[in-house]
Structure 1
């Protein structure tokens, strides 16, 4: 079977494939990133999810020879934002969750923009270390 997107994997399999850096890079979309955060928050709690996501996304990028793509602030902020929405969710799985909160897919930069008064996606310091929000805490 040819894998066309991350939905071809169960949550457990998706987590394992990503963790082992065997996911095809084209499958790691924004939605796939959010799904991974959702899985980690559910399984390990928000603090461990932040740690796991930073290590795994950085490792994934480096395994592809991409050393300037990883952004620690965006990764941690993504987990924090996901956690906030998860606490308010009625759904109990990612597919329903993302339908409940579609703006996580369509307006994610705007969501982070409510917390940061600068372009956190391009900031060099934000790539290396977590910068706490300067506008609105998570």
Structure 2
């Protein structure tokens, strides 16, 4: 499915929950960043994932800080990228797919990232700013 189909399926809730894995999270960030830039992408992705979680889950899985930090991380790598599509982008930066926890760990200490407040509101990194 192309990016527009992916985005439409996700936003409408018709994207299969079983396929919404880490790579799909990254793709959602990439597509929104490509179309809207960082500020609007953060708004749209947060709203979309909250809605998806409410539709396909119990609404308790969404984590604001993790989502915003993920979008900021993807945006950082996009600024260095020569890729024009998500498949090439993820191949260019496999760390996003394979070592994402370590990437976030450069910015956030464990305690801050798992502070209950971080789930409800974005908390800025305590180790290294974006």
- 1:110 paired residue number: 102
User: Alpha-carbon deviation of 1:93?
Assistant: 0.9
Query: What's the TM-score, normalizing by structure 1?
Result: 0.90
Q: Give a deviation string over 1:34-86, Cα, whole Å, max 9, x none.
A: 01100000001110000001000011001123222100000000010000000
- 1:4 paired residue number: none
Unaligned runs of 5+ in 1: 1-8
User: Is 2:15 the counterpart of 1:32?
Assistant: no
Name which of 61, 64, 69 aligns with 2:56. 64
- Matched residue SS, 1:69: coil
- 2:124 paired residue number: 132
- 1:99 paired residue number: 91
- Matched residue SS, 2:82: coil
User: Alpha-carbon deviation of 1:113?
Assistant: 0.5
- Aligned equivalents of 1:28 and 1:119: distance in 2? 26
User: Is 2:2 the counterpart of 1:10?
Assistant: yes
User: Alpha-carbon deviation of 1:119?
Assistant: 4.7
Q: CA RMSD in A?
A: 1.1
- Matched residue SS, 1:73: helix
User: Is 2:39 the counterpart of 1:47?
Assistant: yes
User: Alpha-carbon deviation of 1:90?
Assistant: 1.4
Displaced runs of 4 or more, over 4 A: none
Query: What's the TM-score, normalizing by structure 2?
Result: 0.95
